[in-house]
Every structure is written in structure tokens, then in C-alpha cells.
Chains A and B, each alone.
Chain A
Amino acid sequence: MNRNKLSEFLIEKGLLITAVFSIIIILVILLFIIIQGFPAVYEIGFFKFVFGLSWFPSDSQYGLLPMIVCSVYVTLLSLVMAVPLSLLSSIFMTEIAPDNLTRFVKPVIETLAGIPSVVYGFFGLTVLVPLMREIFGGTGFSLFTASIILAVMILPTIISVSQEALRSVPVHYKEASLGLGATDWQTIKNITVPCALPGIITAIILGMGRAIGETLAVMMVAGNVVNIPGSIFDPVRTITSNIALEMGYAMGIHYNALFASAIVLFLIILILLVIAKYVQNKYKMDIRGS
């Protein structure tokens, strides 16, 4: 009996260790990035690093602002393209489409989500870039091209999370609306979507996180020129692409500066997640409150 109790105890503690492991890993990741990034922030100065306008490693100038601005632009433009399309199609799949069509669409979305980002980048490079060159002139490598590729890549994230939100709206809410003589669309517009809104916002925030973090696909079609773009057809370089482009040969303070830009990325993602959490918690309160 005692031996059994001992082994039960050991198993429980062993499982506890595996559970804490992911937290430890995050701390180790954070620790290592900070250790490697800190010398750069210290030497360059925080404000000069984050708000500096020029990035010339060969001239010891490390200003991240153009990259931050480009990351934000690319992300926002991709959201502008992806959000309406993915919300409308989520509504279509959960509220309108017959069940067997929905069953067929689910693997389509999963496949879109599973395609490696490099394949999207490659498709952008061989199809989209020449097409853009043809239509708008220039090189074809631009903020606009990168945003299109990103929009396609974040579609599955936004669709699957907002579908879940739409599905979790209680059926009797909709039935009450339909019972009052509202059309399907009136019910969707006035009942289903407002009820699912916090989930939909979470979906958009997650898509945003994915867009900001995407590296190679953006890098393959964005042109990678360090500047603050004047038009959406200018070539741009994001924070992530900058790391991937320069890490291979970076030395000394340049190497540290790239880690420091990873800290900036880490913080952006953390802020987005906290906002998503806040929205979710508020939603839970609302459901209980009503």
C-alpha cells in the first residue's frame, strides 16, 4: 500500500514538473534574449534604439523605428484585407452553409493554416511579385505585396477562432430573434455578431500577432529596404525580416542589437496577448451578468 502511495506521489510530482516546464522555458527564453540584447540597449541608449531613424550597422547606427513602423503598416494593411473576408466567411460557414459543406470547408481552412510560410513566400515571389510589377510598375516588391501574402496567411487563424465564437452563441438567442420575425441577416447583425464580438476581437488580435511575427514570407516579397515608406508600393523591411537578414553575419554590438529588437517583438506579442485575455475575461463577466 505504501509503495503504491509513493509511486502515485512521484507520478504526480513528475507531471507537475512537465507542467511547469513551459513556464520555465519562457523565462529562459526571455532571460537569454535580454542578456544578449541588453549590451546594445545600454550602449546605444533606449530612446535612440527604439526611436532612431537610421539603421546602418556598418556605421554603428542602430535606430529601429523604420522597421517598427513597417511592421505596424504591413500588419494593419493585412488586417484591413483579411478581417472583412474572414469574418464574412466565418458567418457564412457557421450560420448559412449546410452542415456537409461546413464539414468540407474545415479541412480547407486547416490546410491553409498548415502550408509552410516559406511556401506562401515562394508563391508570392513567383506569382504575386511579377503580377504587381506588371500592374503597378516598380519592382513588385512592396508593402502592398507583403500585406497580401500576410492577409492570406492570417485568414485561417481569424476564421477558426471567430467561428468558434459564433458557434458558442446560445441557440435560443437566435431563436428568440427569428421568432420575432427577424430575417436571418437581421439576427446575424443584431444578435449573433454582437454576442460573439469579444471572441471575434480575440481572433483579430491573434491574427495580428501572427502577422507581426511572420518572417520569411514577408522577407521574400517586401523588398527589404530600410525606410519609412511614403506609399504602399514602396519596398519595406520589418523587424522580423531585419533579424533574419542580418543574423547570419552580425558581430559584436550589431549581434546584440538584433537580440534587442527581439525583445521589442516579445513585448509587442505580450501586450497583444494581455489585451486578448482582458477582452475574454470581460466577456465571461458579461455572460454571467446577463
Chain B
Amino acid sequence: MGFNRLISPKTAQKIMNIVLIASGAIIFLILLLIIGYILIKGLPVVNLEFLFSNPIDSGKSGGIFPMIISTLYVTLVAGLIATPLGLGAAIYISEYAGKNPIVGFVRFGAEILASLPSIVFGLFGLAFFVIFAQLKWSILSGGLVLAIMALPTIFQVSELAISSIPNSYKEGSYGLGASKWQTIYKVILPTAIPGIATGVILGMTRAISEAAAVMFAVGSSLKMPISIFDPGRPLPLHLYILSTEGISIENAYGTAAVLVIMVLIITIFSNYLINKYQKKIMGE
């Protein structure tokens, strides 16, 4: 209160305007600093040869092709497993469950999964997939761990997308004599597709970025993984090993730049999808 008496409301307004604008600017500068630094240091290393050749001397020189393939491979496995599960759960919770208490449980379960530390998933992956299920260090083990981590994101975003579809859409379909599943399949899913795609993309971003969860599941082989039972080394794990073991700072910058570019592309693409989706819902 003493503060209020000392400074008039108008002065307070002016001061706070500056403070608020400054804080917004700081956030933006932090992003610019980190991304700018990584790209400026990393992009000179990134060329076609770096992208498409094998590492030499455990990554001291040479490229990162097997790591790019490992990343895409584990992400693909994770997506193929997590998408049907997350989407199925989202359809059930928003269309079938009604006021069943299961809704609360599933949502809380998803929140727990979304906030568990990645290293806990790493330990679970090691104990369950690698040792118990005897999948060894493999793309499959890593993909399964990442699928579990991507699951809550896909579920949460798809549920939001499905439940935001106007009721009139469903009523129109029911009015024409369609069954529940026909309505879901022909009306709800096609309308919610951009939202669902956003959920899948966000889940996959989590999978692409993850290192701690896969470090004990996927192995750290420098060889090109062919089958899903081969070990691999996704990009974040490669970056981690290159920089902490002091193998090659240059190639670490290059790898970091490739990761940052991947994330940038995904973010721009998912924003494009969301905008399109909003126009579609509002335009009709």
C-alpha cells in the first residue's frame, strides 16, 4: 500500500508498461540468442556430406547419417504405436465415456505420464523392454519407450480437438440415421484431423528431442540400423556423447544445428496446421 501512495497510478502504469514489454523482449532475446548461436556455429558444418555420410572415429569426423536414420526410425516406431492408442483413448473419453469416473482416471493417468522425468522412462525401458522382454538394445526398445512418452500428448491434444467439434455436426449425422461409429468415422474424425495431426506432431517432437529416456534402451551403436531389432543412436544422444566425451565440438555444433532446424520446421508446420484448422471450424 505504501508503494501505491508514493507513486501515482498513472506513473505506476507507465513503469509497468516498460517492465512488461521488457520481460516479453527478454524471452524473445533468449530464444534468439540460443538458436542464433547454435545455427551460426553449426550451419557451416552442415552440408550434404555431413548429412549423408557415416561417422568416422566415433564421430570425430565424418557425418551423422546413421543418427538421422536412427532418429527417424525410433520416432516412426513411437508414432505407429502411440497414435492408435492415444487417438483411441481420446475418442473413447470424448464420445463414449460420458460421465463415467474412468474419464478422471485416464486424464490423471495421462498427466502423470506427461510429467514423469524422462530418466524414469529410461530406467523402465531398460528393466522392462531391454531386459524383461528381451528386446535388447534396439530401435524397437527405444521406440516403445518414446511411444509411452508421446502417448499423453497425442491423447490430450486429440481429445481437445474432438470435443471442440460443434454438436450440430454429430446431430446432423445421427439425424440421417448414422450409427455412433459411422458418425465418428465419417464426421468427427475428418473434421478433427488437423487437431489430431497437431497432437501427433507434438508427441513426435517430444520423441525426436529425447535423449535421457533412450540412452539405456536404444544402445549407442554408430552403425546404420537396418531392422528394428538393431541398436542405433538418435541425434540427441549423439550430441550428448560428442559434447560430454569431448569427441568433436565442431560436429556437436553441426548435430545441434540439425536438431534445431528439425524443431523449427515442425513448429512452423504445426502452426500452419492449427491455423488451417481454426479457419475450417470457424468458416463453416
- Mark A residues whose CB is within 8 Å of B: 4, 7-8, 11-12, 14-23, 25-26, 28-29, 32-33, 36, 84-86, 88-89, 91-93, 95-97, 105-112, 114-123, 125-127, 152, 155, 159, 182-186, 188, 206, 209-210, 212-216, 220, 240, 243-244, 247-248, 258-259, 262, 265-266, 269-270, 272-273, 277
8 Å CB contact of A119 from B17, B85, B93, B256? B256
Which residues of B sit under 8 angstroms from A33, Cβ to Cβ?
Answer: 120, 123-124, 127
Which residues of A sit under 8 angstroms from B239, Cβ to Cβ?
Answer: 116, 118-119, 122
The answer for the CA separation of A11 and B180 in the assembled complex, in Å, is: 10
* Residue from the set A86, A108, A115 with the largest chain B CB neighbour count within 10 Å: A115
Determine if A21 and B85 form an interchain contact, defined as CB atoms under 8 angstroms apart.
yes
**How would you classify the secondary structure of chain B's contact residues: helix, strand, loop or mixed?**
helix
Q: How far is the CB of B243 from chain A (nearest CB, A)?
A: 5
Q: Given the known inter-chain contacts A15-B96, A216-B211, please indicate yes or no for A183 contacting B24, CB distance below 8 A.
A: no
- Mark B residues whose CB is within 8 Å of A: 9-10, 12-13, 16-17, 19-21, 23-24, 26-28, 30-31, 34-35, 37-38, 41, 84-89, 91-93, 96-97, 102, 105-106, 108-113, 115-124, 126-128, 132, 148, 151-152, 155, 179-181, 205, 208-212, 215-216, 236-237, 239-240, 243-244, 249, 252-253, 256, 259-260, 263-264, 266-268, 270-271
Determine if B27 and A159 form an interchain contact, defined as CB atoms under 8 angstroms apart.
yes
The answer for the CA separation of A136 and B116 in the assembled complex, in Å, is: 34
Can you name 8 A-B pairs with beta carbons within 8 Å?
A: A15-B91, A16-B92, A25-B113, A33-B124, A88-B19, A88-B24, A119-B38, A258-B123
The answer for the CA separation of A220 and B166 in the assembled complex, in Å, is: 48
Which residues of B sit under 8 angstroms from A17, Cβ to Cβ?
Answer: 88
7 interchain residue pairs of minimum CB distance? A213-B117, A18-B88, A116-B209, A88-B23, A15-B92, A92-B20, A19-B89
Determine if B180 and A8 form an interchain contact, defined as CB atoms under 8 angstroms apart.
yes
Q: Given the known inter-chain contacts A125-B243, A184-B13, please indicate yes or no for A277 contacting B211, CB distance below 8 A.
A: no
With both beta carbons as reference points, the residue of chain B lying nearest to A91 in the complex is identified as B20
Q: Given the known inter-chain contacts A123-B38, A184-B13, A247-B123, please indicate yes or no for A112 contacting B96, CB distance below 8 A.
A: no
Determine if A20 and B102 form an interchain contact, defined as CB atoms under 8 angstroms apart.
yes
The answer for the CA separation of A106 and B110 in the assembled complex, in Å, is: 24
